Copies of this chain bind each other. A is one copy, B any other.
Amino acid sequence: MSGHLAVVGIGPGDARWLTAEADAALAGAEALYGYRAYLDRVPSRPGQERHPSDNREEGARAAVALRHAAAGAQVAIVSGGDPGVFAMAAAVCAEIEAGPESWRGLDVAIVPGVSAMLAVAARVGAPLGGDFCAISLSDNLKPWELIERRLAAAAGAGFVIALYNPTSRKRPWQLGAALDELRQWLPADTPVVFGRAVGRPDESVDVKRLDTAEPARADMATLVIVGSSQTRTIARSGRLPLVYTPRAVEKVTA
């Protein structure tokens, strides 16, 4: 039997966000690889190996899983959210490019999932309803100057912005710097959505204004969405406000 590698997106938190395809890919695997916190969200199945690893070891994890599949096994790498968005699919491709020629012949399937920005957006309405972009604030992988340039370009052109990896213990100032950059481009009352641990028991979602949004509100499990000048807030008594960006733009503003 020839080997197979599936890179499976399990969504951002709630098990009900798993797709049927992802569920089947996990059930059919002999061995699961992944960041420990994601593997913990996948039920154990008899006879299935589990190989948890740490968050930073994406390249090494991809290479080990590829070797295992190349030896003939049915292997799955578990990825939070969607595997193609700041997650494992790119690491797998990079290892295939750098690895032995035979890996290019391997059967590799990327199984898409609900990315965190879609789940956070859903909690408050439709902040991503117009043109939008996704930026990782991690400057472990790219220079901070590039991140600032992208923030300015996106806000200046009227994109709503989803910020992945807004902060971590080793990256304490980046979200504050990003919000400061965005304040130069966007109105003071632009809605900022903080979605923490969506779909998990400790979920919390808040809507703030850009001028007073505090970076300390975010942690490693948070995704932040910053609206455009078009994004609107609808107050509702006893509930979170609705936040949405109309698809129609009457005139060029920003």
Contacts and interface: CB of A to CB of B under 8 A. Distances in A.
Interface stretch (A44-52, A68-76, A106-114): A106-114
Interface string A118-161: 11011101111111111110000111011001100110111100
Centre residue among A83, A104, A232 by max chain B CB count within 10 A: A104
A216 interface: no
Centre residue among A136, A158, A244 by max chain B CB count within 10 A: A244
A19 B17 contact: yes
Given A121-B112, A146-B158, A153-B154, A93 B244 contact: yes
A122 B110 contact: yes
A156 B224 CA distance: 24
Centre residue among A108, A153, A156, A232 by max chain B CB count within 10 A: A153
For chain A, which range describes its interface: under 10, 10 to 19, 20 to 34, or 35 or more residues? 35 or more
Nearest to A143: B252
A19 B16 contact: yes
In terms of DSSP, what is the predominant structure of the interface of chain A? mixed
A232 B125 CA distance: 35
Interface stretch (A33-41, A84-92, A167-175, A201-209): A84-92
A148 to B, nearest CB: 10
A145 to B, nearest CB: 6
Given A21-B17, A110-B122, A242-B93, A132 B133 contact: yes
A129 B93 contact: yes
A122 B247 CA distance: 26
A43 interface: no
Interface string A155-196: 011110000000000000000000000000000000000000
A245 B142 CA distance: 13
Contact of A105 (B119, B142, B237): B237
Contacts of A143: 249, 251-252
Given A83-B122, A90-B130, A115-B115, 10 more contacts: A16-B21, A16-B24, A84-B128, A91-B247, A110-B126, A112-B121, A131-B134, A133-B134, A142-B247, A150-B159
